């Protein structure tokens, strides 16, 4: 009887703490999320929207876009290539540092936020090549825009 009361008391203390940890971190176990390293900074997808330094949105209307990103079929035709063949992220690929920027993808654009139009043909501000098990083309475009490589294809970048 006493043992079950203690278990119940411990459970009533642990459950709220676990729920708070889940809410604050976004999950019980932090999972790697897409990121890129550019020069001496890194840009990563924010775990939670309110942790993001930059919010981007996507549109299907090219006239509404502020940034056009073409998805190419070859790395040679791209300004920026994201390629991996692993399901697991390399732990040190994008180590957080004071200049790490977090990007989130929003349903609608906030005033002044980049609005990205993805295309496979036509004019584009820059071109990306994506072959990844961890990145979607939308995430890759958001990260590249977040890194500020649009208009600067000569910048070196790596996973």
* Residue 16 belongs to domain spanning: 1-30
Same domain for 63 and 134? yes
Separation CA 156–CA 43 (nearest Å): 14
Contact (Cβ atoms closer than 8 angstroms) between residue 147 and residue 157: yes
Same domain for 80 and 3? no
Residue 124: predicted pLDDT: 92
Separation CA 135–CA 88 (nearest Å): 12
Number of domains in the chain: 2
Sequence-separated (6 or more) residues with CB below 8 Å from residue 131:
82, 83, 84
Residue 142: predicted pLDDT: 95
Residue 97: predicted pLDDT: 72
SS3 content of the chain, % helix, strand, coil (to 5): 30, 25, 45
For the chain, the distance separating the N- and C-terminal CA atoms, rounded to the nearest angstrom, is: 56
Same domain for 15 and 53? no
Same domain for 23 and 42? no
Q: Which residues does the chain have with pLDDT short of 50? A: 25-29, 150-159
Same domain for 25 and 90? no
């Amino acid at each position: 009887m006493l043992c079950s009361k203690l278990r119940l008391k411990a459970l009533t203390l642990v459950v709220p703490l676990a729920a708070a940890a889940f809410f604050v971190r976004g999950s019980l176990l932090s999972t790697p999320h897409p990121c890129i390293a550019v020069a001496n900074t890194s840009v990563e997808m924010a775990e939670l929207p309110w942790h993001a330094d930059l919010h981007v949105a996507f549109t299907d209307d090219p006239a509404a876009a502020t940034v056009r990103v073409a998805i190419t079929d070859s790395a040679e035709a791209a300004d920026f290539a994201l390629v991996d063949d692993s399901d697991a992220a390399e732990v040190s690929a994008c180590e957080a540092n004071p200049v790490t920027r977090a990007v989130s993808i929003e349903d609608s654009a906030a005033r002044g936020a980049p609005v990205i139009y993805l295309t496979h043909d036509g004019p584009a501000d820059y071109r990306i090549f994506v072959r990844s098990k961890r990145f979607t083309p939308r995430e890759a475009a958001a990260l590249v825009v977040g890194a500020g490589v649009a208009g600067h294809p000569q910048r070196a970048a790596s996973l």
